[in-house]
Amino acid sequence: DIQMTQSPSSLSASEGDRVTITCRASQSISRFLNWYQLKPGKAPKLLIYAASSLQSGVPSRFSGSGSGADFTLTISSLQPEDFATYYCQQSHSTPLTFGQGTKVEIK
Amino acid sequence: EVQLLESGGGLVQPGGSQRLSCAASGFTFSNYGLSWVRQAPGKGLEWVSSISGSGGSTYHGDSVKGRFTISRDNSKNTLYLQMNSLRAEDTAVYYCAKDRILFTGSPSTFDYWGQGILVTVSS
């Protein structure tokens, strides 16, 4: 199975800050990497697919980069609605696996 | 508008069974694979099971293999998860999720999710 490791597990940031979350796969997954946003009581939301493609309707302040085993999600200017937990997920092969999540909290 | 609505959750005793349903609308149901993903209390996301658009291919994670069965009824636009031999560690919010890609043979990327349904396994 491919293990996904995210860092940090949590972070505190202020509105307007630039935030970066990293995700590392235990083996090369090319660009088969997705990012999701979770908020309590709401449906999870796809932000980025194929490492760097922005899902329709997602604000452009979200961006993704990377290939192989190392990936990054960046929020260029944190907005109040961005306080949530973020997960990476590899779609290279089954079993599909997720990172352990990064909780973005208000500073 | 794509909508996925889970139902069938609740409290079940260890060793018991439960069937979850996910009613879908807003897309051509039989053209897309569907999956179940769960989140145990205080834990991260875990992929559970997936099924192709036709229903001809199914996939299960190791933690549920032999106990859970995913199926779909394309005439009713509904996805199911039959859960048998339930354990305390199956306690979680279960999400129904749709594949982003048309006619894909195996699960990949989830572009729409339901709001989830809680299953609690406890005596």
- Tell me, what's the pLDDT at A106? 86
> Which of A96, A100, A103 to probe by mutation at the B interface, max B CB count within 10 Å?
A96
What is the mean predicted confidence (pLDDT) over B42-66? 96
Stretch B50-59: mean pLDDT, rounded?
Answer: 94
Phi first, then psi, for residue A78 (nearest 5°) are -60, 130
Q: Which of A41, A44, A100 sits opposite B113 (nearest CB)?
A: A44
Alpha-carbon distances, residue A57 vs A31, B24, B109 (angstroms): 21, 21, 16
Q: What is the pLDDT of residues A4-49, one digit of tens each?
A: 999 999 999 999 999 999 999 999 999 999 999 999 999 999 999 9
pLDDT band at A95 (very low <50, low <70, confident <90, very high): very high
What does the DSSP assignment read for chain B? --EEEEE--EEE-TT--EEEEEEEESS-GGGS-EEEEEE-TTS-EEEEEEE-TTS--EEE-TTTTTTEEEEEETTTTEEEEEE-S--GGG-EEEEEEEESSTT-SS---EEEE---EEEEE--
Q: Which residue has the tokens 């997936």?
A: B50
Residue A10: what residue type? S
Q: Name the phi and psi angles at A102, rounded to 5.
A: -130, 120
CB contact under 8 A, B110 and A44: yes
In B52-111, the residues whose Cβ lies within 8 Å of chain A are: 59, 61-62, 95, 97, 100, 106-111
Query: What six digits make up the tokens of A17?
Result: 């800050």
Query: Taking 80 as the threshold, does the pLDDT of residue B105 lie above it?
Result: no
